[in-house]
Structure 1
Amino acid sequence: MAVRWFYLAVLALSSLGLMCILFTIYWMRYWHDGFAWDGTMLMFNCHPVLMVTGMVVLYSAASLVYRLPQSWVGPKLPWKIGHAAMHLMAFILTVLGLFAVFKFHNHSKIPHLYSLHSWLGITAVFLFACQWLLGFVVFLLPWASLQLRSLLKPFHVFFGASILSLAIASVVSGINEKLFFSLKNGTSLYSNLPGEADFANSTGMLVVVFGLLVLYILLASPWKRPELGMQAERQALLRGGE
């Protein structure tokens, strides 16, 4: 039963993550004319899609690798490599997202990093880079002792969840900021909740629900890789026991 509930949660999470990406793409295509890689506003439109895909959805998928029951048995190294590789892919998409917005700002002579949204985002990316490097050096390379890994693991878990929380806060504030800019000179005020505002706010709520479910599975659920000495309980869960 426990495994069944886990995979139901994974199915719900996968659906929510895909919806977050598709809703963001639709928002940029339908209300803001699509995408390009030329320094214009169409290049900026790549920014929210890349950040939601990389910093939220793919980052979350990488963080949940060790919640898969299949990762609880056998060698841990392949799962470590998968965990690190997925995070690296998420980081590459994130860097591309940052490049898109910085390139647009340079092209349009807009100052960089002046809003709370940008401060939250750049902090999340900086911590993400530090987190990945620390994880690679301490947890993936074979030189670190078990004592050092045990000492740093709680911090690694804490900052992993904190980075996701910062990313969600950055996405939500970015959606709000984009709506204020795009609707301030329009015929429909933001306060009247025109179609774009309604859709974008709904996208933000999807991101929030997705992030809360990820944090629950990471921090509060019983679906965690058992520590040494819990072989019997692990095998019972893999057989579907409670």
Structure 2
Amino acid sequence: MADRDLAHAENAPGGFFVDTTCIDCDTCRQVAPATFIAVDGHSAVGAQPVDEAGRQAAARAVVCCPTNSIGSDQAALVRAASAEFPLPIVDDIAYCGFTAASSFGASSYFIHHADGNWLIDAPRWTPQLVQAIERAGGLCGIFLTHRDDVADAARYAQRFGARRVIHARDADAMPGAEQVITGEDEVALAADLVAIPTPGHTAGHCVALHRGTHLFSGDHLWWSRRLGALNASREVCWHSWTEQTAS
């Protein structure tokens, strides 16, 4: 739980705040960009939300924060926000929220699939999310884009009997994975869901393509709000920038 006594001085006065345990993962700034800003290596509340939509987005950020570094005086609103996840994004895809510190706040996603539901990367273990997945029909698979974003995949796999899929070059991060991809050829995971090896960020990085239209890119590339375009960074490439740009 965030501690107001540790709140950053840059927070705008009001009900929401960020404390000094923030790891600058950017999750809150993605979820509620109108409220949270980046300041000298951490997040802060740049402006308190002024309407219901803004307060709802800020409450979702409280739920999603991997280090519980965001505080709020609106407990009921935060409880309501926690019940929204997985949060629908488009078609049969939803954002899991509940990011993990071990994954540095990486996003994970839930796909409601006719042949069995999938997680793309894994969130932290959270009873509310487990119950929501149960209501949605459970899980048949967990596709892990790379070693950094496994979080609590093992617990979700055990709970739902789901098969974990990861590339061999990153498989030491997920011992006991039920399916290990080798080589650099595409691998069909399910109808309209394909794994594509994209080495670079890590040796075993892969992306997942759903229905030929939605790409789960892991840390291969991402949307830059500053540039207004897709981007990648050599600074956070852990294996080979040459391979990453080639793939």
Q: TM-score, normalised to structure 2's length? A: 0.26
Q: Which has the higher contact order (CA 8 A, sep 6+)?
A: 1
Normalized per residue, the structure richer in helix is: 1
TM-score, normalisation: structure 1: 0.26
Higher strand fraction: Structure 1 or Structure 2? Answer: 2
